[in-house]
């Protein structure tokens, strides 16, 4: 759509080969065998202590085929894989919804510049749609172009980068006090974004804020 040449080059290379194992895939980006290797995060996962957040759950670890999938979605704009991820994650999100009983489910919006000019869709919203969990857009993201969080060199720099990026949709402010909100995000790394977003809700009187992330980056303590 936005980069037709790049896209056709990509499909030329990968059309009939799995982007993860390289074996014939029947025209899919990821073959069924690899897709089945996406495993749920273990129950005994070490829980990060994320300020202002009352708890979180993740669907799968960001490694192996799961990492290939999120890369295809985020950096190659392979939109239909969001549906596959959403369908795989759906039972886990639904079970978390039953356990925390949120009044609202919402998601962390992607950087609008990426949404409009690079990817053409919001990967987290697309995955969330595929789970069929009803949600509302409570969070607004400022369109200021900024350095990606992944390039931040320290926790302090990450915190500076997320400051002022997110705001709550003012139309919902009267309805958030005393409520429980479940925020969905694509990738949980250090919890900086999750904490910032949880703080926003807590600052307007929301009682409990939980997070569900489709992917959890492993090997990083903070």
Decide whether 29 or 92 has the Cβ nearer to Zn ion.
Answer: 29
Given a contact cutoff of 8 angstroms between Cβ atoms, the answer to whether 122 and 112 are in contact is no
**CB 71 to Zn ion: min, Å:** 14
Smallest distance, Zn ion to C-beta of residue 13, A: 15
Q: Please report how close the Cβ of residue 199 comes to Zn ion at its closest, in angstroms.
A: 40
- In the complex, the smallest distance separating the C-beta of residue 67 from Zn ion, rounded to whole angstroms, is 13
Angle among Cα 202, 138, 152 to the nearest 5 degrees reads 75
Residue 30 — φ and ψ, nearest 5°? -125, 130
CB of 20 or CB of 208, closer to Zn ion: 20
Name beta bridge partners: 213.
Answer: 58, 185
Tell me the two tokens of residue 141.
């993201």
What is residue 49's DSSP assignment?
A: -
Residue 143 in contact with residue 165, Cβ under 8 Å? no
Nearer to Zn ion, 54 or 63 (CB): 63
Closest CB to Zn ion among residues 65, 168: 65
Under 8 Å between Cβ of 180 and 103? yes
**Alpha-helix runs per DSSP H in 62-174:** 64-75, 80-100, 112-113, 123-131, 155-162
Smallest separation, CB 186 to Zn ion (Å)? 22
Residue closer to Zn ion (CB basis): 38 or 130: 38
Rounded (to 5) percent helix, strand, coil in the chain: 40, 15, 40
| Residues at the site binding Zn ion, with contacts judged by CB under 5 A | 18, 20-21, 31, 34
Q: Give the residue with the Cβ less far from Zn ion, 18 or 209.
A: 18
Nearest distance, CB of residue 89 and Zn ion, angstroms: 19
Q: What are phi and psi of 58, to 5 degrees?
A: -120, 155
């Amino acid at each position: 759509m936005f980069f037709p040449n790049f896209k056709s080059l990509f499909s030329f290379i990968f059309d009939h080969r799995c982007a993860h194992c390289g074996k014939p895939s029947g025209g899919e980006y990821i073959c069924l065998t690899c897709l089945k290797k996406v495993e749920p995060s273990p129950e005994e996962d070490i829980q990060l202590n994320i300020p202002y957040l009352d708890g979180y759950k993740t669907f799968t670890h960001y490694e192996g085929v799961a990492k290939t999938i999120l890369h295809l979605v985020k950096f190659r704009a392979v939109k239909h894989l969001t549906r596959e991820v959403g369908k795989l994650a759906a039972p886990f999100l639904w079970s978390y919804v039953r356990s925390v009983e949120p009044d609202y489910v919402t998601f962390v919006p992607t950087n609008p510049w990426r949404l409009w000019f690079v990817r053409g869709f919001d990967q987290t919203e697309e995955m969330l749609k595929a789970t069929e969990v009803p949600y509302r857009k409570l969070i607004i993201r400022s369109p200021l172009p900024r350095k990606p969080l992944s390039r931040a060199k320290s926790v302090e720099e990450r915190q500076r980068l997320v400051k002022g990026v997110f705001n709550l949709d003012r139309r919902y402010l009267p309805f958030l006090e005393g409520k429980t909100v479940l925020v969905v995000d694509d990738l949980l790394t250090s919890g900086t974004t999750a904490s910032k977003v949880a703080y926003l809700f807590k600052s307007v009187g929301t009682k409990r804020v939980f997070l569900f992330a489709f992917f959890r980056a492993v090997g990083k303590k903070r």
